[in-house]
Structure formats: structure tokens, C-alpha cells
Amino acid sequence: MKNYSKSFKALWIGEIVSELGGAAGGIVNGLLLYELTGSKEWMGILWLIYFIPSLILQCISSPFLNYMVKERLLRNIQLIRSFAYLLPLLGFILVSENGAIIGLFILQCLLGLMQPIYASLSFSLLPELCEEKELVNANALLDGTLRLMSFLAPGAASLFLLFIPIHFIYVFSAIMFLISFLSLKRLPDNPKQAVSPWTKRFWWKEMKEGYKIFFQYPGLFRLTLLSSTVQFAVGVTMVLSVPFIRGSLDGEYWEYAIFSAAFPVGYVIGTWILTSLPKSPLFMYIGLMGGGLSFILLFFTHSIPYAWLCELSGGILFPLFNAQSAAMFQKGVAKERLAQLSSVRLFFLRLTMPLGILFASSPFWDLGVRPVFLIIGTIILVPGLFYFLITLKNTGSTSFIQVK
């Protein structure tokens, strides 16, 4: 960490504390809604209220992101989210159970609206805070730490639940986002960013230009599609993890908890391994192929310890692809367009996750849990193998993000 700038450290601290608060809040959201309604249908509605506004804003917000003061907007978003996490608690105190449900849905809607803007801006800000040679490790450090926070959050939430009512855990989440806001105040505003007039004509012109430029980068588009297959698999796993461990393998709750923790723990290990590996497209595609293979192996697994090992292996291998592909994107795009094109990229990634959820939960396929793991693993492995072989054949070429 000592090699990174103070601004990067401020962003890193802001990211990890907000991820801890957000992950803990996400766990409480589901528990609270199920406790109040006892309905899985309401659980589905809760996710739709998050994803639908998020995807709509992700799609239409990209023209404006190049003309924002990124640092200031990041701070404002964290402050809004800090106050938003208090809404279910205030609803419960002032109105009782119905008030808590209303506050919960408003919270989810606000989180869905804020997340795509925050993620696009923080992603595009990273090249301004790090030297180009540090980008792969910086992406790996951020991604790995966030995974670690998502692993620690359930334990923190469980510990709090032993001593305080479920509603008051929202105070913890609010405090975490407030700390994130204070950390991001250490980021100096970039005075060179100019704000243009927001008109309908300006928005439409920039919207078309952004998508046009995005598709003019064949390497960029390819990496985005490959990352989208990973996000599709994440959506599938969100649905199938419990049925796989509790149903197919007849596991206990604690065995499912270890299965859920194996991937983020592996991700932290993979992030550490990546710092000592050569940064090359070959290793990047090896990570993608290995991650896809870990899903395929779940199709053949009839032992819970082997299932843990598959998840751990996937967690170790995927950072080799994720961190390097993100850094290639950041290096290959002009900085004045990076925020806008990052938003377009994130739109594709965020779109495929709910598609994975729908694919895994749809009654029309009737495939069973194991075959679905085989399908998603193949979807990741085959393109990864194809581009690995092409890269191996053209080892003399190092440019993978090119304009037509």
C-alpha cells in the first residue's frame, strides 16, 4: 500500500467501508422483508426494485458522466446512501411494520439509482490516481478487498443480531457510508472537468456518440462480453447455491455458509497471487478458463468438500481475468471518454446478472441444478479457450484494444 498515492488510499478506504456497510445492509434487507412478509414473491420484488431503476439509469446516464466533477459526485452519493439506510429504521419507529417495508423499498430504489453512477465514476477515476503500471495491481487490490468485505459482512451482521434488533443494524450501514464520505473528502476535485449545458439535444448526441465509440473498440467490446459471461454466472449462482448445497448435496446450513465464503476467500488469495505473476493476456485468459472450469466441475461434484474446493479455485482464478481486463479497458480508452464508456461497459455487466437470475429461476427450462452449472461453465470456458489459442498464436501482438 505504501507505493500508492494518498488519493488512491482515500478511494480504497472509502470503497471498503462502504462495501462492508452495504453488504451488511443487504443481508438485513432480505432478513427483514422475509420476517415481515414471509413471502418469497416479495423478495423477488425487492430485487426488481433495485435492478430496474438501476439499469434504466445506467443506460441513460452515460452522456453526462464525462462532464461531472467525479470526486464531488462520489462524496454526494455516499452521503445520500448514508441517510437512505436510516429509512427502514425511521419507518419502523414512526409507522411500525408497514413503514419499515415502505422505507425498505425506497432504500432499495435509491441504492439501485446510486450504484451505477458510483461504480462508473470510481472505475474511471482510478487511472487518474495510479500510474499506468500500477493499474492491474490497483484493480486487483480494490476487487479483492471488496470481496473480503462481502465475506466479513455476514459475520458482522450475525454478531450484531445477537445483541440488537434487526432494524438497528441499519445504523451500522449508515455509519459506514458516512465514514466513506469522510474518506472521499480527501480526494481533491479536478478543476479541469468542465460542466456542459444539459439539453435534450446534447444528451441524445452524447448518447449516440458514446455507444458508437464503444463499438469501435473491438477489443474493448470483446472483454466486456467475456466479463458479462462471468456476471451471468454470478446471477445464476445467486439462485442455485442454496438448492445445490441444501438439496443436491443434502448439506447443512453451516456447510452452505462455508460454500458461500469459499469464493471470496479464494478471490483474496488470487488477488495476492496476481501481484507476483506476469501481467499478460495469456494469464488473463487462463484465469477465465479456470474460472469456467470450476463451474463445470460442480456438475460432477457429489461431495460437499469438493464443492468447497471448486468455489475456492474459482475465486483464486477469476481475479487473473477480472483485474487485468479492467486495467486493459482503463488503459485503452481516452481519459476524456473513460467515465462515459465505463458506464456503457457497466450497463452490459449489470444487465447480464439479472438475466442469469431469470435463467436459473425460470420454470420453463426444467434443467435441474447440476446441468445449469455445466452450461454456465461452458459459456465461460469455450470463449476463454478460443481467445487463449488466438493469443498464443499471435504472441507478438500486445494490443488488444484497438479502434477499427
CATH number for the domain harbouring residue 246: 1.20.1250.20
In a domain, 403, yes or no: no
Does one domain contain both 311 and 170? no
Helix (H, G, I), strand (E, B) or coil at 2: coil
Q: Cβ(92)–Cβ(103) under 8 Å?
A: yes
For the chain, which ranges sit under pLDDT 50? Answer: 195, 198, 397-404
In a domain, 255, yes or no: yes
In a domain, 230, yes or no: yes
Does one domain contain both 180 and 205? no
In a domain, 327, yes or no: yes
Q: How far is CA 283 from the centre of its chain?
A: 22
Does one domain contain both 358 and 278? yes
Sign (positive or negative) of CA dihedral 26, 31, 37, 39: positive
Closest CA relative to residue 326, chosen from 119, 76, 139, 98: 139
Does one domain contain both 83 and 112? yes
Radius of gyration (C-alpha) of the chain in whole angstroms: 21
Does one domain contain both 202 and 157? no
Separation in Å, CA 336 to CA 68, 135, 339 = 11, 18, 7
Query: What pLDDT is stored for residue 110 in this prediction?
Result: 92
Cα distance between residue 31 and residue 166, in whole Å: 8
Does one domain contain both 164 and 224? no
Does one domain contain both 29 and 150? yes
Domain that holds residue 71: 1-185
CA angle 94, 100, 103 (to 5 degrees): 100
Q: What is the pLDDT of residues 233-274, one digit of tens each?
A: 988 887 788 788 878 888 886 787 788 778 888 988 998 888
Q: Which three cell numbers stand for residue 217?
A: 473498440
User: Cβ contacts of residue 276 below 8 Å, gap of 6+?
Assistant: none
Does one domain contain both 205 and 181? no
In a domain, 56, yes or no: yes
Per the document, the length of the chain is 404
The pTM (predicted TM-score) of the whole model is 0.71
Residue 380 φ/ψ, nearest 5 degrees? -85, -45
Query: What pLDDT is stored for residue 332 in this prediction?
Result: 79
Does one domain contain both 179 and 252? no
Does one domain contain both 203 and 99? no
Burial class (CB in 10 A: 0-12, 13-18, 19+), 403: exposed
Query: What pLDDT is stored for residue 40 in this prediction?
Result: 56
Query: What pLDDT is stored for residue 397 in this prediction?
Result: 47
In a domain, 288, yes or no: yes
Q: Mark which of 153, 185, 217 sits at the end of a domain.
A: 185
In a domain, 399, yes or no: no
Query: What pLDDT is stored for residue 314 in this prediction?
Result: 93
Does one domain contain both 217 and 341? yes
Number of domains in the chain: 2
Query: What pLDDT is stored for residue 311 in this prediction?
Result: 92
Cα distance between residue 228 and residue 360, in whole Å: 16
In a domain, 400, yes or no: no
Helices first, then strands: H and E counts in the chain: 14, 0
Separation in Å, CA 87 to CA 25, 173, 266 = 12, 12, 35
